[in-house]
């Protein structure tokens, strides 16, 4: 049926295409073949995939034509509607129900009558009035033409600047990095993905850096200038960042000027107010998509949400209400479900975030858990972190966030459906989700999150986001994990040993139990609670909240250089074969320990191919190769799985100055040091050197004599008998253990020591107990001089476990064997 033949049909004019407008047009035609439908679009394209624009810039969507869902001709033919492109609506005459339209190319004007009007003009990218923002090298991204301009700029550029770390900004940064551009991303907030909570957004920042994107956080853009022919971004702090071009991705604003001029009611932020059937303040005018102020599905509060999914559904609601009002279903409101992929990581959110709940003054509880996306024993298991926000009154879900390498969208969709259905944490615990080893676990991470929330609600454990004032920290991770990433000032008792070592803990103190993922610390908290201790757990564990016990110095986040893109494997053929090792599903230090054991059996020329899902394994395996004289042939990351290939050289090559440190034998044989000083900073220096020498595979001995013996003393007094008066006096006057050692300078009766410990902890630097634990694990010999012990009245039982006892001959033999001798 030709549109001109529909003389008596309802005249529906739609301003704007893409998601909301095209959806309304398609649904309207399906409901009424007699309707006279006209779509008016200012640009040349009426229906295109605007969410796919960044992916064509980066070449991931190679064929540009695939972004054009419909051409004006194909949409007109498919729906038998009138499509007017390059046509701008300049005025709405509500009394006469007439639009004034102008041809963009011809500048000719005419009138277009309507019975029902649908406004779907979308939103405009924010372009604030900053100095230099009009520079032609400063782009925004809204349509195919913007995309073409950015893509053309990429072809002649070596560097790019992205302003804004939201969803679009991250997609642009990822895709620009794919083009081999050097990319810097600037975000005004102190985290990427500001709508998400910090512990969920932090892994995304790490992923960006790992892929070579330089991050500048907490420093808003102040303007643009030109310096030596290059575009220069000037930040509020005074910092200057140069690039060949920039993309502004700092948000959008509703394009509601036409509605405002027509007298339609707008919301507080300039979006068009609509009711639940998407009607504006004029009952014959509807609006949908990025331009409208709808409402939050959970609370009913006004909300503008520029997302494609809601826009598409709103267009359908409008058509239903126009043509079938008796059966039309109202729009239920927004949940705000959104997801983004950033290289090998995916993050998403639905419902309310903790920040929104806190700012709104709403009562809530937060639960964070980490588990694998499928059975841990099945190859390719990678960590998945889920955060739940729920009501303490009735357990109803208020919001959720998920981050991980795989399976994020599946869990996010489940949680969005749970929110829409008003489910509680009890319902989440009992959800029956699809399970087979390649797809999930018998207890899915969503179930685990529900269980963890139940434990908190039922009073089985109290969790905190950071250490409460005055609490001592109990680290229940294995010794191997503690030595690689110690918690400053923490007491380490592995969970497996906790029940038998409760006597080592002060019952008069309150304790914070920590572990990597929060699960083991919960187990520990249950043991301690039932033993009468006051204890809380760190929500989500140290992986989720790495700064909870050791905060980075302010500003450091912007000073970290981006890591280079990971290396690809070299094509190496070996006659002796390759050993394969699957360490996916294992947490640190599990993968490294298994690699170490496997490499001990490698023959010269043989290779080891290993896969692991622990996020820190990429760095660990490089350090391991350097310290053991193995060749690291390559490291790759794919969807959260790190694949590394190691080879034992057929002929060891001794490393020299400028040589590849990962080839051949270690360059040093080890070290021997006399630790004469009993001062904190000097003992720390000795331990740092010892750990470094041990990492290079050498034989290391620390020979403690006179005041240095104080570093080996136990922190608590040990009952002894038969000591002389002077021996007892020495014991009382001298520092007892590592924590009591003074500084060599500026000690100030212990105040300087405490200040130095705080300074090191705030910067995430290792502490003395951590360094000592690492040295013992690495096989460093701790030898106490027996002559000095006798002189100072120190008995063997007063020293920590694992100390050997020797004299001058032991020291001289060790020095000769190591080839390096130090005096501290």
Residues with a known catalytic role: 588
3-state helix, strand, coil in the chain (%, to 5): 35, 25, 40
Cβ proximity of 715 and 740 under 8 Å = yes
Which one, of 386, 692, 665, 361, lies nearest residue 518 by Cα? Answer: 386
β-pair partners for 387: 368, 401
Q: Measured between alpha carbons, how far is 344 from 636 in angstroms, rounded to an integer?
A: 11
CA atoms within 13 A on the CB side of 413: 5
Burial of 466 (0-12, 13-18, 19+ CB in 10 A): middle
Tokens for 215, please give them: 């991050």
Beta bridge partners of 386: 369, 402
Contact status, residue 647 vs residue 633, Cβ threshold 8 Å: yes
CA separation for the pair 155, 357 (Å, rounded): 44
What is the CA angle 201-619-410, rounded to 5? 40
Q: Do the beta carbons of residue 278 and residue 287 sit within 8 Å?
A: yes
Distant-in-sequence, close-in-space partners of 24: CB < 8 Å, separation ≥ 6: 14, 118, 120, 286, 288, 315, 316, 318, 319
User: What whole-number distance in Å separates Cα of residue 767 and Cα of residue 613?
Assistant: 28
Tokens of 713: 């003393």
Strand 252-254 with 123-125, pairing = antiparallel
CA dihedral of residues 207, 211, 214, 215 (deg, nearest 10): -10
Rounded distance, CA 85 to CA 279, Å? 25
DSSP state of 424: B
Sheet holding 87-93, edge to edge: 87-93, 98-103, 109-113
The two three-digit tokens of residue 232, written as one number: 């220069």
**Dihedral through CA 234, CA 236, CA 237, CA 239, nearest 10?**
-10
Identify the CA nearest to 309 among candidates 18, 9, 736: 18
Our CA angle for 622, 628, 634, nearest 5°, is 35
For 199-214, give one letter per residue: b (16+ CB within 10 A) or e. bbbbbbbbbbbbbbbb
Name the DSSP class of 46. S
Instruction: For residue 356, say if its preceding peptide bond is cis, omega within 30 degrees of 0.
Output: no
Helices within 4-45 (DSSP H only): 18-31
Which tokens hold the place of 542? Answer: 């140290």
Q: Which of 385, 306, 483 is nearest to 475 (CA)?
A: 483
Q: Roughly what angle, to the nearest 10 degrees, separates helices 72-79 and 18-31?
A: 20
- Rounded CA separation 553/542 (Å): 18
3 state SS of 623: helix
The burial class, CB within 10 Å (0-12 / 13-18 / 19+), for 543 is buried
* Helices of type H across 374-515: 408-420, 425-430, 445-457, 479-484, 495-498
Provide the 3-class DSSP secondary structure of residue 216.
strand
> Distance between CA atoms of 205 and 218, rounded to whole angstroms?
13
Are 382 and 373 spatial neighbours (Cβ–Cβ below 8 Å)? Answer: yes
Q: How far is residue 518's CA from residue 453's CA, in Å, rounded to a whole number?
A: 13
């Amino acid at each position: 049926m030709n549109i001109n033949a529909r003389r008596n049909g309802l005249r529906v004019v739609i301003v704007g295409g893409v998601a909301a407008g095209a959806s309304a047009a398609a649904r309207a035609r399906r409901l009424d073949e007699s309707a006279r439908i006209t779509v008016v679009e200012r640009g040349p394209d009426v229906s295109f995939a605007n969410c796919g624009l960044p992916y064509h810039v980066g070449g991931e969507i190679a064929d540009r034509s695939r972004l054009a869902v419909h051409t004006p001709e194909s949409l007109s033919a498919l729906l038998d509607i009138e499509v007017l492109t390059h046509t701008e609506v300049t005025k709405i005459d509500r009394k006469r129900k007439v639009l004034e339209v102008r041809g963009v190319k011809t500048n000719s004007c005419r009138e277009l009558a309507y019975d029902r009007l649908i406004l779907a003009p979308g939103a405009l990218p924010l372009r604030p009035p900053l100095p230099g923002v009009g520079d032609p090298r400063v782009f925004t991204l809204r349509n195919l033409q913007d995309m073409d301009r950015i893509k053309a700029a990429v072809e002649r550029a070596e560097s790019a600047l992205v302003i804004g770390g939201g969803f679009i900004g991250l997609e642009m940064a990822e895709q620009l990095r794919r083009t081999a551009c050097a990319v810097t991303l600037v975000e005004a907030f102190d985290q990427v993905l500001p709508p998400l909570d910090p512990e969920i957004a932090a892994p995304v920042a790490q992923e960006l850096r790992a892929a070579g994107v330089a991050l500048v956080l907490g420093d808003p853009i102040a303007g643009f200038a030109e310096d030596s022919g290059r575009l220069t971004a000037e930040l509020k702090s005074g910092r200057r960042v140069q690039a060949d071009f920039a993309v502004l991705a700092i948000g959008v604003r509703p394009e509601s000027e036409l509605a405002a001029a027509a007298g339609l009611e707008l919301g507080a932020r300039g979006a068009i107010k609509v009711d639940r059937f998407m009607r504006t303040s004029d009952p014959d005018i509807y609006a949908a998509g990025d331009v409208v102020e709808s409402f939050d599905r959970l609370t009913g509060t006004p909300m503008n949400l520029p997302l494609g999914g809601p826009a598409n559904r709103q267009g359908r609601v409008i058509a239903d209400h126009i043509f079938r009002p008796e059966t039309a279903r109202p729009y239920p409101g927004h949940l705000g479900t959104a997801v983004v992929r950033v290289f090998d990581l995916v993050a998403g959110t639905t419902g309310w975030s903790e920040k929104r709940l806190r700012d709104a003054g709403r009562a809530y509880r937060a639960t964070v858990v980490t588990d694998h996306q499928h059975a841990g024993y099945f190859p390719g298991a990678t960590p998945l972190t889920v955060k739940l926000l729920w009501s303490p009154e009735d357990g109803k879900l208020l919001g959720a966030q998920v981050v991980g390498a795989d399976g994020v969208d599946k869990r996010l969709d489940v949680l969005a459906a749970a929110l829409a259905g008003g489910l509680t944490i009890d319902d989440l615990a009992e959800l029956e989700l699809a399970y087979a080893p390649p797809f999930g676990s018998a207890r899915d991470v969503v179930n685990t999150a529900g269980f963890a929330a139940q434990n908190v609600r039922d009073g089985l454990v109290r969790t905190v986001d950071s250490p409460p004032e005055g609490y001592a920290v109990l680290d229940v991770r294995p010794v191997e994990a503690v030595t690689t990433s110690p918690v400053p000032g923490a007491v380490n008792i592995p969970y497996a040993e906790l029940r038998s070592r409760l006597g080592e803990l002060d019952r008069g103190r309150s304790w914070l139990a920590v572990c990597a993922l929060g699960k083991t610390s919960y187990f520990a908290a249950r043991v301690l609670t039932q033993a009468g201790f006051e204890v809380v757990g760190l929500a989500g564990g140290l992986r989720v909240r790495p700064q909870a016990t050791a905060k980075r110095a302010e500003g450091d986040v912007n000073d970290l250089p981006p890591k280079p893109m990971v290396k690809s494997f070299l094509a190496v053929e070996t006659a002796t074969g390759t050993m394969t090792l699957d360490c996916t599903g294992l947490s640190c230090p599990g993968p490294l320990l298994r690699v170490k054991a496997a490499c001990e059996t490698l023959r010269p020329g043989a290779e080891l191919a290993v896969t692991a899902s622990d996020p820190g394994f990429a760095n660990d395996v490089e350090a391991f190769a350097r310290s053991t004289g193995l060749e690291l042939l390559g490291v790759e990351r794919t969807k959260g799985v790190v694949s590394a290939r190691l080879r034992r050289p057929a002929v060891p090559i001794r490393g020299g100055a400028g040589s590849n440190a990962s080839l051949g034998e270690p360059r040093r044989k080890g070290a021997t040091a006399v630790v004469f000083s009993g001062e904190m900073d000097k003992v720390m220096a000795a331990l740092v050197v010892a750990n470094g020498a041990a990492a290079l595979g050498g034989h290391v001995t620390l020979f403690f004599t006179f005041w240095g013996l104080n570093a080996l003393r136990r922190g608590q007094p040990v009952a002894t008998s038969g000591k002389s008066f002077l021996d007892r006096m020495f014991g009382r006057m001298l520092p007892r253990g590592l924590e009591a050692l003074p500084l060599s300078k500026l000690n100030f009766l212990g105040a300087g020591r405490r200040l130095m410990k705080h300074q090191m902890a705030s910067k995430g630097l290792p502490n003395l107990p951590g360094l000592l634990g690492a040295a013992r694990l690495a096989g460093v010999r701790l030898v106490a001089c027996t002559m000095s012990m006798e002189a100072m009245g120190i008995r063997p039982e007063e020293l920590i476990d694992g100390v050997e006892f020797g004299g001058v001959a032991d020291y001289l033999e060790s020095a000769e064997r190591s080839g390096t001798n130090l005096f501290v």
